[in-house]
Amino acid sequence: TLLKLLNEHFAKKSLDPLGIGIGVDWGRVLMIKAGYSGSSINDVIYMGDVVNRAAHLAHKAGRNYENPIWAGPDFYGNLNEHNSGLLTQRWDYEVGSVYTGDVVLTAMNTWIEENF
Assign 3-state DSSP to the chain and report helix, strand, coil percentages, each to 5.
Answer: 35, 25, 40
Pair 56, 94: CB distance under 8 Å: yes
Q: Is 69 helix (H, G, I), strand (E, B) or coil?
A: strand
CA 64 – CA 68 distance, rounded (Å): 8
Q: Is 78 helix (H, G, I), strand (E, B) or coil?
A: coil
Of 12, 14, 9, 51, the closest CA to residue 31 belongs to 51
> What confidence score (pLDDT) does residue 72 get?
97
Could you report the per-residue pLDDT of 53-112, keeping only the tens digit for each?
A: 999 999 999 887 779 999 999 999 999 999 999 999 999 999 999 999 998 899 999 999
Angle at 85 between CA 107 and CA 52, to 5 degrees: 100
Ordered by start, the domain boundaries in the chain are: 2-115
Q: Which residues of 84-108 are buried (b: 16+ CB within 10 A; e: fewer)?
A: beebeeeeeeebeebbbbeeeeeee
> What confidence score (pLDDT) does residue 62 get?
81
How long, in residues, is the chain?
116
Quick one: average pLDDT of 39-63?
91
DSSP state, 39?
S
Q: Is 42 helix (H, G, I), strand (E, B) or coil?
A: coil
> What confidence score (pLDDT) does residue 42 get?
83
pTM across the whole model: 0.82
